[in-house]
Amino acid sequence: MAKVQVLNVAVLDNPSPFGNPFQFEVTFECMEDLPEDLEWKIIYVGSAESEEHGQTLDSVLVGPDPAGRPMFVFQADAPNPALIPESDAVGVTVVLITCTYRGQEFIRIGYYVNNEYTDTELRENPPLKPDYGQLQRNILASNPRVTRFHINWEGCAEKMEDSENVDPAPNAMLPPSCTPGKAPPLGLVPDNSMDCL
């Protein structure tokens, strides 16, 4: 059984300029004292087309985690524009928060992110070379997509005991390919991978 349940993730400083650091306030619950730290990561999916533009913004160890309800703020620097294809700078993409325990990912939280110019002039005639200074990042905080995975909480990844364990698919949350400004289709994630009610 999962020893950690994520209770809430609040997106702070949102919307904000593109260059501002990401801030997520994470509240979770530990069923018992965890002997090892949890590792949290923020991954920015730079391009809908390809995985190679995904960049891990930061990873952080969180611990000690006593039984109860701990919370923390995970702050990570904004993505490096150099790693984002110019064509994908404006529009909808995805930011992922993952958590691993003993090297096994047990939760992946995905948010759609919309990057657009605040200036109407720029919005209508976007420059060929994206002006990151003018871009605003808006995270769709109300719509997290959560995927949970069964892991072996007692040992490490090799000694998986439950047969029905699902390997965390790298594409569990694909960024939607849609035009900027439009609400992204949320039906992309297969419903059976959601561990909700």
Partner 1 sequence: TFDVCKPIFSVDIHPDGTKFATGGQGEDSGKVVIWNMAPVLREEDEKNENIPKLLCQMDNHLACVNCVRWSNNGLYLASGGDDKLVMVWKRAAFIGPSTVFGSSSKLANVEQWRCVMILRNHTGDVMDVAWSPHDVWLASCSVDNTIAIWNARKFPEIVMTLKGHTGLVKGLTWDPVGKYIASQADDHSLKVWRTMDWQLETNITKPFSECGGTTHVLRLSWSPDGQYLVSAHAMNNSGPTAQIIERDGWKTNMDFVGHRKAVTVVKFNPKIFKKKQKNGSTPKPSCPYCCCAVGSKDRSLSVWLTSLKRPLVVIHDLFDKSIMDITWTLNGLGLLVCSMDGTVAFLDFSQDELGDPLNEEEKNAIHQNIYGKSLAITMGSQLSSTIIENPEMLKYQQERQGNQNPNGAQASGPENQTPKLTNVLNGESLEDIRKNLLKKQVETRTADGRRRITPLCIAQLDTGGTAAVNSIGMKSNLLLTSASKIEPMKALDSRFTERSKATPGVTSVPLTIGITPLDRVKDSSSVKEPKGKDETSSDSEDKIVVKSMTKRKGEMEGAEVVEKRKKGRPRKDAKMMPISQPFPQVTFLLSKDASLLKLPTPSIQKSFSTQVSTDGVTYLEVENEVSVVSGSRLSQLKWSREGREWDTLLPSRIIIATGSSDVVAVACEDRTLSVFTACGRRLIPSIMLPAPMSALHCSGHFVMALTASATLSVWDVQKQTALVKNESLNPILSGTEATVSQSFLTRQGVAVVSLSNGKTYCFNSSLETWNLIADKQDSLVQCTDFRSCVSSQDALGSMGPLALTQGRNLSAGRLASRLSSTPHHLQQGMTLAFLEKQLASALILLSASEYRHWLLIYARFLVNEGYELRLRELCQDLLGPVHKSSSSSWETTVLGLRKRDLLTEVLPVIGQNLRFQRLFTEYQDQLELLRLK
Q: Does 30 sit near partner 1 (CB under 8 A)?
A: yes
Closer residue to partner 1 in complex, CB, 35/170: 35
The C-alpha R_g of the chain, in whole angstroms, comes to: 18
* Cis geometry, peptide bond prior to residue 130 (ω within 30 degrees of 0): no
- By the 8 A CB rule, do 69 and 6 touch? no
Q: Does 45 sit near partner 1 (CB under 8 A)?
A: no
Range 30-62 burial, b when 16+ CB lie within 10 A, else e: beeebeeebbbbbbbbbbbeeeebbeebeeeeb
Q: Does 195 sit near partner 1 (CB under 8 A)?
A: yes
Q: Does 64 sit near partner 1 (CB under 8 A)?
A: yes
Q: Does 183 sit near partner 1 (CB under 8 A)?
A: no
Q: Does 155 sit near partner 1 (CB under 8 A)?
A: no
Structure tokens at 19: 């260059």
Q: Does 124 sit near partner 1 (CB under 8 A)?
A: no
CA distances, 118 to each of 20, 49, 80 (Å): 15, 25, 20
Instruction: Find the binder of partner 1 among 55, 59, 136, 138 (CB under 8 A).
Output: 59
Q: Which residues bind partner 1 (CB under 8 A)?
A: 1-2, 5-10, 12, 23, 25, 27, 29-33, 35, 37, 58-75, 109, 144-146, 150, 154, 162, 164, 191-192, 194-197
